[in-house]
Amino acid sequence: MHKLMRRTLVSLSLLALPVVANASGARVSGLNVPGDYVKDYTGIYTYVSGVGSVGNLVWAEPGNSGNNAMGAVLGNLWDGKLGTFGVTMRAAAPTLGQPMFGDPVTTTSVGFGDFNFNGEALDLMWGHKMGSGSLGLRVNRSFISNEVAAGTAEGNGNNGRNIWGIGAGFGFAMNSNTDVEISGLFQNRSFSGQNFNTPNAAEDDGGSTYQIAARAMKKSGSNVVLIPVLKMYSFGRSAVDAAAVTTDETLSGWSFGLAGNWTLGSDDLFILGGNFVGNKFEQTVGPNPTTTVNETFYPNMFMALETHTNSWLTLRFGAQNAVMFSAKQEVGPATATIKQHVFSFSTGATVKAGSLTFDATLTPQFFNNPVSATFNNGLGNDPFGRVSATYSF
């Protein structure tokens, strides 16, 4: 089939096929809200105890900015007597918690984020329900090594560290209306050699990488669930280069907020909330002055609507606005501060194709001119920003 015709049919099918409301990374991207504030299976990478509540699910992330992935959660192995097992295979390791490749940037505006980019070799999860509580465990591993006559390079430099990660979470019913989830993730990140092809004296210089998160889901009234969230994180990035020059570097942050999830009509969803966010980057190279960047969102507001327009089509829209955003950079005694508001907008749709449910993000111009948005959206040969496929059984 001609390429132009194929893309046209794919575009039209997005608004013409039946749908089942499954969760996915593309769904969260389309809603454009921080993933902590919506119930979605992607939350299990942060709130690990949720792996036992997903059910039986297989998903795929095709064409996801180069980080193609597949995963499964299986609760029916050995009739569930040994708990729930999860496995994920990705081209690249995700950041701490929910995989952020292709997701909207919800906690930063000037480049804060996980610098590390390396292949992921292992990501396993296990969950077990215990009375009114649920325990979840996770282990992930990223590793590459190059052994040559000049020596051995492990990892791919400071931005491609090898990772040993462990995580644990516990969820419990506080009362008949409130469920609580708490979790902790820890990673050991190391490298040796300037890069994968250059083994030398460069290596990591300690520092911890971790994330602590807690949230609750409290039913308030007949159609609303309130979700308060508290998170903090830190990336240790200190290193020594081949000339024995030490760089002390950390990236850390915190956030807290509250959102309401309203059920409207026939299982439609409306989300309204806000969170306060602080990110800090600090770097000292050898005897040079310390560079510090502080970024704050006071607050970041977000809103989303997901509506089942009929039995076979779901549409979603989402927006965020950091109404009081500030980024302050300090290099020794010199300072520079930017204050502004930061706005983002997303759209998405869900379709059903046989036993698979497809979620896709759309360009904001899609509904103004679907043909033009599909072929002139700046994404080259990719008409949709992100696509996820899920299969539940």
User: Can you tell me whether residue 28 is helix, strand or coil?
Assistant: helix
For 169, the token pair is 């979470």
In DSSP terms, 173 is beta-bridged to 179
Q: Please report the pLDDT score of residue 115 as a whole number.
A: 78
DSSP assignment of 255-307 equals EEEEEEEEEETTTEEEEEEEEEEEEEEEEEETTSPPEEEEEEEEEEEEEEEEE
The amino acid sitting at 59 is W
Bridging pattern class, strands 246-264 and 239-240: antiparallel
Q: Please report the pLDDT score of residue 21 as a whole number.
A: 40
Pure H helices in the chain: 3-13, 25-31, 370-375
The answer to whether residues 147 and 159 touch, using CB atoms and an 8 Å cutoff, is no
Considering the four listed CATH numbers 3.40.50, 3.30.565, 2.40.160, 2.40.50, the one that applies to the domain covering 3-392 is 2.40.160
Rounded alpha-carbon distances, angstroms, from residue 66 to 102, 104, 172, 308, 348: 10, 16, 37, 30, 20
Q: Please report the pLDDT score of residue 14 as a whole number.
A: 35
Distance CA 275, CA 257 (A): 4
Question: pLDDT tens digits for the chain (393 residues)?
Answer: 443 333 333 333 333 323 334 468 889 989 999 989 998 888 999 999 999 999 899 999 887 666 788 999 999 888 888 999 999 998 888 778 775 433 334 456 656 777 788 888 899 999 999 888 999 999 999 999 999 999 999 999 999 999 999 999 999 999 999 999 999 999 999 999 999 999 999 999 988 899 999 999 999 988 999 999 999 999 999 999 999 999 999 999 899 999 999 999 888 999 999 999 999 999 999 999 999 999 998 899 999 999 998 878 899 999 999 888 899 999 989 999 999 988 888 899 999 888 889 998 887 777 777 776 666 655 445 567 788 999 998
pTM over 0.85: yes
Q: Please report the pLDDT score of residue 100 as a whole number.
A: 43
For 171, the token pair is 């969820």
Distance CA 253, CA 213 (A): 12
Distance CA 41, CA 98 (A): 10
Q: Closest Cα partner for 27 from 367, 304, 320?
A: 304
Q: Please report the pLDDT score of residue 382 as a whole number.
A: 59
Distance CA 325, CA 277 (A): 10
For 166, the token pair is 């462990």
The answer to whether residues 68 and 61 touch, using CB atoms and an 8 Å cutoff, is yes
φ/ψ (deg, to 5) at 42: -60, -15
Q: Please report the pLDDT score of residue 18 as a whole number.
A: 30
Q: Please report the pLDDT score of residue 352 as a whole number.
A: 86
Where are the domains positioned within the chain? 3-392
Q: Please report the pLDDT score of residue 145 as a whole number.
A: 95
Buried b (16+ CB within 10 A) or exposed e, 244-255: eeebbbbbbbbb
